[in-house]
Amino acid sequence: MSEHILNREFLLSGRLVEEIRRWSPDMRVYSDAERAALLAAFLAERPQPGHGAGVWVFAYGSLIWNPMVHHVERRAAHTPDWHRAFCLSTSGGRGTPENPGLMLGLRPGPGYADGCTGVAFRIDEALIGPELDLLWRREMVAPGYIPRWVELAVPKGADPGGATLGHGIAFTSDSAGPGYCDLAEEVIVRRIATASGRMGTAAEYLFRTRDGLRELGIDCPFVERIAVLVDAEMAAAPGP
């Protein structure tokens, strides 16, 4: 399986659950009923809408370059209370049990980049049900993320339109989740530079995230630093 297969049809078919069970047979996977209940409970806590009707979804990793959900607006957004971290280990999608890859999560606190700047996608009010169902099929297949309503602001220097966008959905890291990890930078770099799984390489995930941020004029010192170090690690690796 490669990244291009991770699309709407693939998610709606339920095949992602089948793949995860194949990658990690011991992993607990949510049933359809459990996932629907999680989404319903989350929507019951929905704050009052902010800028624009509908719901904002905050993208800080692969959702930037593969959002998949239908949306009516896209813009840069910032949360000062969370920061990116390569803190989610993957032993199937972009790694193996012998050499796990890493994916991004959101951890509390501003970090050294003074929060996290990413992309907010606004889903039209009429499409909230089906589009969030699709998003939950992607991000809430198994324990690992905790969806939260986070305050989103317009980044400094961006087109004004309002100092705040209101609350948006962000998938934050579950520190009690089975894949959560807190690794030294050199370990993060080595794992991203070498890990590969059925959805592609961990390095591809990193570089596509970096490129997606650059295309929108978003500067993320953390992602840029890790990308430089991973690039150097890969260049220094012995050939086949």
Token output for 120? 């907010």
Residue 211 carries which DSSP code?
H
* Helices 32-43 + 128-139 axis angle, to 10: 120
Q: Which of 15, 67, 36 is nearest to 129 (CA)?
A: 36
71 Cβ contact list (under 8 Å, min separation 6): 57, 121, 122, 123, 124, 131
Catalytic annotation on 139?
yes
Token output for 90? 């993957």
First to last CA, the chain: 23
- List 19, 73, 131, 139, catalytic entry: 139
Residue 126 carries which DSSP code?
G
Residues labelled as active-site residues: 139
